[in-house]
Each structure stands twice: as structure tokens, then as C-alpha cells.
Amino acid sequence: MRIGFGWDSHEFKPGVKLMIGGVHLEHDRGLAGHSDGDVLLHAITDALLGAIAAGDIGSYFPPSDPKWKGADSAIFLAEAMKQVEQAGYQIVNIDSTLVLSAPKIVPHAKRIQQRIGKLLNIGADCIGVKAKTPEGVGTENAAIAHVVVLLEKHEEHKQLQTMAAVLDSQKHLEEVVRDLVNEVHEEHSQRKVANTEDIT
Ligand code: MG
């Protein structure tokens, strides 16, 4: 089992499309960023990479690279998922809390869960999406995302580990049998020598 944590924030700007969790939400402002500014997908990406100690979103997609300008953040998430799979893990569940003054997230939570589930190939019921308003923290002009993920060894890896354990115990059994046979052989030849000595 591995746990990962991700955090991200983006500033609201007028004239930008609001993307949260891979879903376009109708609002008068969107989140500014080098990519599409999807604060939730960025935090999930970091949580996944963090869980396998494989760096962060910036080490794969540097903001200095013009290639990622306006990029769909699903690309970042797909790369993190590829890294997780290569490391031999699969997602158990994800939980998240968004902190933003508007729009209300609850009416869109199901759609966001389903979209993230589709992107990560897991059930929507494995993705928690919650939201709070920023009471007294002075971040009214920003959206913040906190994310935790839990990973477990991939099923195939588990099966391979079991097979390796069986092979190991078989090998051990073979060694025990070989030692026994050798002992019997040795005893037998010692007896033979003793018998020959008796005759002479
Ligand atoms: Mg970001």
C-alpha cells in the first residue's frame, strides 16, 4: 500500500473557461494557468506521482515549455497513471476537497467523479469530491484542491509474487530431497566400504 498527497491552487481570471476535474463548469471566470488550469486534476496528478515517489507534475511537464500552454490536464493525469502502472500499482481510492468561493461544486460532483473515473479507469464511487468555501482565509479569488490517493500492488504483480513464492518453496523442497538422497548415497557407500573391509 502507498499513500499520496497533492495540493494545487490557481487564480480566477475573467475570460477563461472554468475546468475542474476534467469538466467544464459554467461560470463568469475560469482558472488561469499555463495549461487549462484544472486545479483538481493537477492535485490528483501530484498525489499519484507522490505515492510512488516519482517527482511531481512540473518534472514531467515544465511550465517553461510552451508545448503545454493551454494543454488539457487529462494529459498530465494520463502520464501519472502510466507511472503508477509501471511501478506495479493500482488505485484503491481518491479523496479530494476543493476550497473556492464559487461556483457551488455539489451540483456537479457526480459529473466530476464520473469524468475522473473514466480518465483513470476506476469506479466513480472510488473518487471523493467535496468542496468548502474559504472562510476567513482570504483566498476568495483562488481555487485550491487538496487530494489524497491510496494505491495497492497491481493484481498481476500480486499473482507474480505468489507464483515466485510457490517456485521458491518448490526449489527449497527440491534441495531438501537432493540432500536426503545424497545422505542416503553416502551412507550406502560407507556401508559398502565397511563390508569390503570386513571381507578382506
Ligand atoms: Mg496547477
The answer to whether 114 and 124 have CB atoms below 8 angstroms apart is yes
**Distance, CA of 142 to CA of 121 (rounded, Å):** 29
Print burial letters for 47-86: b (CB count within 10 Å at least 16), e (below 16): bbbbbbebeebeebbeeeeeebeebebbebbebbbebbee
Closest CA to 127 of 27, 23, 200: 23
First vs last C-alpha separation in the chain: 71
Residue 80 has pLDDT above 90, yes or no: yes
Over residues 72-90, the mean pLDDT reads: 97
Ligand 1 centre distance from Cα of residue 60 (Å): 13
For the four alpha carbons of 64, 70, 74 and 75, in that order, the dihedral sign comes to negative
Query: What's residue 64's pLDDT?
Result: 85
Residue 127 has pLDDT above 70, yes or no: yes
Q: What are phi and psi of 63, to 5 degrees?
A: -65, -15
Q: Distance between alpha carbon 84 and the CA centroid of its chain, in Å?
A: 5
Ligand 1 centre distance from Cα of residue 22 (Å): 13
Ligand 1 centre distance from Cα of residue 61 (Å): 11
**Distance, CA of 139 to CA of 35 (rounded, Å):** 21
Ligand 1 centre distance from Cα of residue 42 (Å): 5
What angle (nearest 5°) sits at the alpha carbon of residue 129, between those of residues 123 and 134? 170
Ligand 1 centre distance from Cα of residue 10 (Å): 6
Using one digit for the tens of pLDDT, what is the confidence trace for 26-58? 999 999 998 999 999 999 999 999 999 999 999
The answer to whether 2 and 33 have CB atoms below 8 angstroms apart is no
Band of pLDDT at residue 70, cut at 50, 70 and 90:
confident
Query: What's residue 22's pLDDT?
Result: 98
Using one digit for the tens of pLDDT, what is the confidence trace for 156-195? 777 787 888 888 888 888 999 999 999 988 888 888 777 7
